[in-house]
């Protein structure tokens, strides 16, 4: 089963993707994570995209389609791919369709996670991540069980993303409504769209995701 998690910044795509990886053995392909890894390892492409990402703008279709094509070529799909943060433009959506078709694979569902802007701001500005394993936390809604210690790996160092501030978030939201929201109609017309309410506790949202995938 290959699925797309579609939603604005802070909708909970990464959080729900981690659950699906743990519970169903699916493989998460997050273009945001791939781009951040390229920045950390200091590749030429990583340097190229750094300022664009910090500003909250989209990097080029060519770069992200290349990243996804590389992962699909590796072929380790396990129980299926979760596309998280990809596609984000109509050309990316067309490219994904072609890539999957060339591998004899299908897209089973596109899960749109709906969350209002006020909730997105508080989710984004409260987010932090474990430096060791990438586990995602929140100042209010998802604290580690032991203060300052990652539940998953025991790490003690955490980071906040450079684009998790109100100014970049405004740009990210604008880009979402302008470039990414047309994908809702695109996948609706293909009869692949499943819409869920992304508000509520993480477990409640996980149950809604499971509900649409299992019907």
Footprint on this chain of ligand AP5 (rule: CB under 6 A): 7, 9-15, 31-32, 35, 52-53, 56-59, 64, 85-86, 88, 92, 123, 126-127, 136-138, 141-142, 163, 172, 200-202, 205
Least distance in angstroms from the C-beta of 147 to ligand AP5? 16
**Closest to ligand AP5 by CB, 193 or 196:** 196
Question: Which residue lies nearer to ligand AP5 by CB, 105 or 125?
Answer: 125
List 196's β-bridge partners, or say none: 113
Tell me the residue number closest to ligand AP5, measured at CB: 32
Tell me whether residue 9 or residue 80 sits nearer to ligand AP5 (CB atom): 9
Nearer to ligand AP5, 26 or 35 (CB): 35
Q: Does the annotation mark 127 as catalytic?
A: yes
CA–CA gap between residue 23 and residue 17 (Å, rounded): 10
| 161 assigned to active site | yes
> What is the nearest approach in angstroms of ligand AP5 to the Cβ of residue 126?
6
Residue of 19, 123, 172, 194 marked catalytic: 172
Task: Locate 120 and state its tokens.
Answer: 């997105």
208 flagged as catalytic: no
Cα–Cα distance for residue pair 121/140, rounded to 1 Å: 13
Distances from the Cα of 202 to the Cαs of 17, 114, 145, 191, in angstroms?
Answer: 12, 13, 16, 27
CB atoms within 10 A of CB 103: 13
- Active site residue: 19, 39, 123, 127, which one? 127
Task: Count the alpha carbons within 13 Å of 19 in the hemisphere toward its beta carbon.
Answer: 15
Burial of 23 (0-12, 13-18, 19+ CB in 10 A): exposed
What residues are annotated to the active site? 13, 88, 127, 161, 172
């Amino acid at each position: 089963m290959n699925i797309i998690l579609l939603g604005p910044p802070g909708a909970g795509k990464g959080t729900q993707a981690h659950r699906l990886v743990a519970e169903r053995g699916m493989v998460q392909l997050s273009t945001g994570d791939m781009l951040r890894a390229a920045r950390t390892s200091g590749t030429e492409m990583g340097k190229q995209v750094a300022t664009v990402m910090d500003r909250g703008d989209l990097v080029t279709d060519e770069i992200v389609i290349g990243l996804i094509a590389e992962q699909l070529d590796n072929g380790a799909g396990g129980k299926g791919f979760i596309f998280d943060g990809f596609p984000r433009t109509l050309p990316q959506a067309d490219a994904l369709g072609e890539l999957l078709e060339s591998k004899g694979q299908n897209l089973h569902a596109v899960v749109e996670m709906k969350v209002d802007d006020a909730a997105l701001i508080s989710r984004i500005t409260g987010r932090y991540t474990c430096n060791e394993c990438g586990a995602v936390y929140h100042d209010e809604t998802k604290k580690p069980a032991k203060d300052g210690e990652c539940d998953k790996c025991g790490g003690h160092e955490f980071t906040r993303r450079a684009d998790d501030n109100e100014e970049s978030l405004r740009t990210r939201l604008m880009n979402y409504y302008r470039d990414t929201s047309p994908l809702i109609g695109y996948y609706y017309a293909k009869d692949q769209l499943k819409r869920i309410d992304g508000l509520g506790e993480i477990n409640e949202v996980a149950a809604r995701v499971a509900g649409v995938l299992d019907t």
